[in-house]
Chain A
Amino acid sequence: MGAADIHEVLRVDGLTSDIATPGGRVNVVDGISFGLRAGATLGLVGESGSGKSMTCLSILNLLPAFGRVTGGSVLFKGEDLATKSADEMRKIRGGQIGMILQDPMTSLNPLYRIGDQIGEVFKYHHGERSKRSRWQRAIDVMKRVHIPAPAQRAAAYPHQFSGGMRQRISIAINVACQPDLLIADEPTTALDVTIRQQILRLLKEIQRERGTAIILVTHDLHTVSKFCDEVAIMYAGRIVEQGPVARIFAKPAHPYTRGLLDATPKIGAGMARLQEIPGQPPAAGQHGGGCRFASRCGRAAALCKESYPPLAATDGDGQHQVACWYPLEAA
């Protein structure tokens, strides 16, 4: 996480954004910072409302009309995305930065053939003018994401594909432009468990070919432990713990991370009772100045309710960081 790393594709620093609600503007992303190198995968983990999707939308400058980025910077390949015009951003999105969403049915147009939809990417991002050549290139990328019989399937409509195949198509649309960064927001949540594995494997394969950096947004800790190199755990708009996956899963330092791991049922674990995290996350904007997890935390003391703990390194090389006044000791 050095300051000027030439392999770093993305550097997010102090990103902050808020949304308008009937009760006034509410902060949803609060001072998020991380770096991502080429070929690496960052898992962004959190429960509903923790701000993980809002973080991604803030990076892409795609917040809904009632949202806005209020602070921080996003450097993509060394360039500040805030300085880009709307036109330039449109070229970057879908070109150098791809995005995969949870339900591909809503991101594909039900009225156009798949071959045309994939081909559109070559028209807008590569200026490919021949319709026939666009169709051919669409078939090529369908082959790359292992869709069987691509030449025939290119003529089919989205509803004629299964959920797993639709997700492959949306990956095809994204890899058509060979992006340097791929943001995947819960890409496997809507899929069956045996299909999930296939989609994750496909993403890994594409990452290996091109050295694509991936941000994987998920609530599933299993997926993170298998698929990601780095992880950032979000709670109520902030990162509470971040660092290399192996270290955090072996020795979580934040009570919330520990709680998430203990609350997840494990198959081999016998009938021991799951450790629940009491209470529920605070609503956006409904937290005081203290640690946002304090009301649910067994270790919370007076200090936790007064001021928010800064992210601080827990180990010598500074890669594993935790925002807790009383972090868990290494077990």
Chain B
Amino acid sequence: MSSELKNAYIEVSNLKKDYQVRRHFLARPATLAAVAGVSFTIEQGGTFGLVGESGSGKSTIAKLIMGAERPTSGQVVIDGHRFGAQASASEDAWRYRALQPVLQDPYGALNPRMKIGNIIAEPLRIQRWKQWSRHAGNPATEGSAPALANSDAYARRVAELLELVGLRADYAGRLPNELSGGQRQRVAIARALALEPRILVLDEPVSALDVSIQAQVLNLLKDVQAELNLTYLLISHDLAVVAYMSTQIGVLYLGQFMEIGSKEQVVNRPVHPYTQALIAVSDPDSGLDDDVVTGEIPSPLNPPSGCPFHPRCPRADSRCAESKPLLRQLGPAHWAACHYAEAIAQTDESTDIVSAIAA
């Protein structure tokens, strides 16, 4: 895929992550393939949406890209910096500044005893912001880094960040328990932006929020992205959220892509039965049958033979149980791993949701 897109800012190739798990302490360890060979690219300023259910490996991919876990094999290249199975301290130091996470639970993410101002200033202190900052002439960039968060430079940066996420500057003096869930998520976003990262990894950023607040945070993330030219990796179980935010979408199932491509292709012309099922249950107006997927998600410890989705797939036949379909290209920005992808694309008129709604 890498050759297809110009200016790939993040390039993930054949990424794999195995975990050794024991069912009980005497058992021989079994291999759990959490991520089983995943490749994709993200262009600068774009948003790649990873959608999948529990056990699909979406959070593991986020950890591998952030450097919280090392891949078993494969590599991630971010802006020319290469990250593989071997650690490199200098590259990791670069990555820890260039990438910042925003996680699901805005209650667990903030230290309840720290004031908001200190929470946002903490990364500045830890990473010695003076060396990092492009704010030339800023007092903080000269001499030794200020030790305290309430020094002027830090306070100014905190106020700037609070304004960016739509909170008043006086929130710096408050404690997390004085804030609502949406406000806390704004603080978590401000903290992630403190070091002027190039990439935000958003792992279920709005799942814990109410609908009206969810829209506020999604719109904030869009505004901040446009203002700072950020690149996003967005992870969510909610296809509607992913479709709203993303330029590209990858649909994961048991550690592998079922379908991947531009948002328009995946959402408006889905060719994989799993993508179609996800759309059917998330969108009452899709016209797709929402009653087709049976059974449960198989354990990644004991994945099905052939296509991982075949035991639940309404179209599966013996071929699907025997041979595993590889991800193959169906259009300029569209790949799917299904033996019958072409047939579905041709025959299934209803997959073209846009024309169905327009008609």
Q: Which positions in A face B, CB cutoff 8 Å? A: 47-48, 162, 164-165, 192-198, 201, 219, 221-222, 225-226, 259-260, 263-269, 271, 273-278, 280-281
Q: Is the CB of A267 within 8 A of B283?
A: yes
B interface residues (Cβ-Cβ under 8 A, vs A): 53-54, 180-183, 210-216, 218-219, 222, 237-241, 243-244, 267-268, 277-279, 281-286, 290-291, 293-294, 296-297, 312, 353-354, 357
* B353 x A268 contact (CB < 8 A): yes
In whole angstroms, how far apart are the Cα atoms of A222 and B283 in the complex?
7
Q: Which residues of A contact B297 (CB under 8 A)?
A: 162, 192, 194-195
Instruction: Evaluate contact between A265 and B353: CB separation under 8 angstroms.
Output: no
Q: Which residues of B contact A260 (CB under 8 A)?
A: 211-212
Report Cα–Cα, A301/B80, bound state, in Å. 57
**How long is the Cα–Cα vector from A52 to B304 in the complex, in angstroms?**
41
Task: Known contacts A265-B244, A267-B283; decide if A193 and B237 are in contact (CB<8 Å).
Answer: yes
Contacts of A275 in B (CB 8 A): 215
- Residues A194 and B357 in contact in the complex (CB < 8 Å), given A260-B211, A274-B244: no
A-B contact pairs, 9 of them (CB 8 A): A162-B297, A193-B53, A194-B297, A196-B281, A197-B281, A222-B282, A225-B284, A267-B279, A275-B215
B286-A268 in contact (CB<8A): yes
Bound together, the chains give a CA A47 to CA B181 distance in angstroms of: 12
Which residue from chain A places its CB closest to the CB of B285 in the assembled complex?
A: A268
User: Hey, which chain B residues are within 8 Å of A226, CB to CB?
Assistant: 284, 290
User: CA–CA, A78 to B212, complex, Å?
Assistant: 38
Contact, CB under 8 Å: A162 / B267: no
Whether A276 contacts B283 by the Cβ 8 Å rule is no
Task: Say whether A267 contacts B277, CB under 8 Å.
Answer: no
Task: Output the least CB separation between A297 and chain B (Å).
Answer: 12
Chain A, residue nearest B216 (CB): A276
Closest to A261 in B: B211
Contacts of B277 in A (CB 8 A): 194
Verify A194–B211 contact, CB threshold 8 A.
no
Docked Cα-Cα span, A275 to B216, in Å, equals 8
Contact A192:B218 (CB < 8 A) given known A165-B296, A219-B210, A221-B211? no
Contact B213 A280 (CB under 8 A): yes
Asked if residues A264 and B293 are in contact (CB atoms below 8 Å), the reply is no
Instruction: Return chain A residues, CB-CB under 8 Å to B237.
Output: 192-193
